[in-house]
Chains A and B, each alone.
Chain A
């Protein structure tokens, strides 16, 4: 499987964020997008996720499920956690499991994997920022998607949480997945570096 973007250009609010950008990543490979604030890391991820339409260029996924588009085969972990404080931890996770569909894993085991199984019945409102992030990560585990698009995935996680997430990313890559992550901090796994910021 190969994710590629060719000659991508993104314009937001009349300002050119980046242009002429090429990228590619294959199964089992992680691509770390680095660069200063405002370089367009989040915009690039949102272009890959199909949430932003690029002004120029194309994004393609070869070797995936031919019936599905790239966004439909991708997980997007953004700044916002997509959690409802009024619902319990388990309800939040099982909603995304049912809604996203496809190949799913047992919700209880996914919660245990991110060390939130003790809080399954509690309202998500009671979780700290780091725990909310863990719960979002449990979403990536509970539904299988080959492509992970991660925006600052380790922010808000403590040292133990970061170590845990590194293991989960390794498992994902070993299982033939691919990861594109925008990050300031070292990811903790072998990753090809894509430096942004010179373009704009």
Chain B
């Protein structure tokens, strides 16, 4: 069992080392194209140039939810299949998801400034994103609070799945709360009816940001795997008793094997 456990992360490291540079390159190119197209897109007759914030806001908002989906799948992997990479994936995704959510909030409030006259309006959509952001931060705090990653993993997995079930309920409640207090959201103006001139750059940006997430996520997973290896090497080093040669030699041999495998 230990063999397959070790083999998977090792294979993963080898595989990602090969594909990451290419993936990063494609991401950069797509981002450049997307940004250029966004800059070239015509101004909206109502919103003027501010509509272009949408090209960054929408992909971030979409990813903020998508990343939670990824973490939920990983959480299932941790709880049901006990896949060794699952909790690595979940842990690595949380800060990235939080960053996308934060960008969605910032761009949303920058967009809101000329629309509403304030940086923040308790608009239903933005408020839902803010709550999602808080949940990401809570999850990261949970990961940080427990030193042993495998113990933290199960707690985080449960919280992620509970969050996945709760997010639609929260979204519904916030919508209801919001309509109770004020008429239809301003955000809907830019909603479903999109001109082709806007649709293309948005699509390219969405793909570029998704690739950006995949690139960052794979890199973060690599870091996390390596971080865990360092941790287990350190624990081995700590248990090495320096003045008794037999035990010291034994654990040193295991340690060098481990490095060889990495």
Contact = CB atoms under 8 A, between A and B. Distances in A.
In the complex, A touching B (Cβ < 8 A): yes
B238 A127 contact: yes
B243 interface: yes
Nearest to B147: A125
Interface in A123-144: 123, 125-128, 131
B238 A160 contact: no
Given A85-B147, A125-B147, A126-B234, A118 B239 contact: no
A119 B244 contact: no
B89 to A, nearest CB: 25
B240 interface: yes
Contacts of B242: 115, 117-118
Nearest to A164: B243
A93 to B, nearest CB: 15
A122 interface: yes
B254 interface: no
B244 A122 contact: no
Contacts of A127: 238
A131 B243 CA distance: 13
B238 A119 contact: yes
Contacts of B238: 119, 122, 126-128, 131
B194 interface: no
B241 interface: yes
B243 A119 contact: no
Contacts of A160: 241, 243-244
A115 B241 contact: yes
Interface residues of B, number: 11
B237 interface: yes
A9 B101 CA distance: 64
A123 B237 CA distance: 11
A126 B239 CA distance: 8
B239 to A, nearest CB: 7
A118 B234 contact: no
B239 A115 contact: no
* A117, A122, A126, A128 — most chain B CB neighbours (10 Å): A126
Interface in A168-199: none
Nearest to B235: A126
Given A160-B243, A160-B244, A118 B237 contact: yes
A119 B251 CA distance: 14
Contacts of A122: 234, 237-238
Contacts of B243: 115, 160
Contacts of B240: 118
B163 to A, nearest CB: 28
A112 to B, nearest CB: 9
Nearest to A112: B242
Nearest to B231: A126
Given A117-B242, A160-B243, 11 more contacts: A85-B147, A115-B242, A115-B243, A118-B242, A122-B237, A126-B234, A126-B235, A126-B238, A127-B238, A128-B238, A131-B238
Interface of B: 147, 234-235, 237-244
Interface of A: 85-86, 115, 117-119, 122-123, 125-128, 131, 160
24 contacts: A85-B147, A86-B147, A115-B241, A115-B242, A115-B243, A117-B242, A118-B237, A118-B240, A118-B242, A119-B238, A122-B234, A122-B237, A122-B238, A123-B234, A125-B147, A126-B234, A126-B235, A126-B238, A126-B239, A127-B238, A131-B238, A160-B241, A160-B243, A160-B244
